[in-house]
């Protein structure tokens, strides 16, 4: 794993962990809890595109924050409406 991808995994995990909302990353046919470091490591290494499903009391703030982290590292992401 390159340093940039490792940094992305850590920052995605840290950002997700600050929210009460459920944050799930869909990649191909997998569902990964964004608050799981192990799941994130695998998904960032093996996926080309990401779809975030965010639901909960602070979902609007979480959507913005999570999208910003993915964009920061050049990772393509879509978020549920």
Q: How far, in Å, CA of 71 to CA of 81, rounded?
A: 18
Q: How many domains does the chain have?
A: 1
Contact 16, 35 (CB under 8 A): yes
Q: How far apart are CA 55 and CA 58, in angstroms?
A: 8
Structural domain range at position 33: 3-79
The predicted-structure confidence for 44-81, as pLDDT tens digits, reads as follows 777 888 999 999 999 999 999 999 999 999 999 999 98
Run of H or E residues at 16:
helix 3-17
Q: CATH no. for residue 10? A: 3.30.1340.10
Give the tens place of pLDDT for each residue, 7-52: 999 999 999 999 999 999 998 778 999 999 888 887 777 788 899 9
pTM of structure: 0.90
């Amino acid at each position: 794993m390159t340093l940039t991808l490792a940094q992305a995994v850590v920052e995605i995990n840290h950002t997700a962990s600050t929210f009460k909302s459920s944050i799930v990353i869909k990649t191909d046919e997998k569902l990964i809890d964004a608050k799981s470091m192990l799941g994130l490591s695998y998904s960032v290494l093996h996926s080309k595109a990401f779809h975030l499903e965010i639901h909960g009391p602070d979902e609007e703030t979480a959507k913005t924050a999570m999208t910003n982290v993915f964009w920061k590292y050049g990772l393509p992401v879509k978020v549920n409406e």
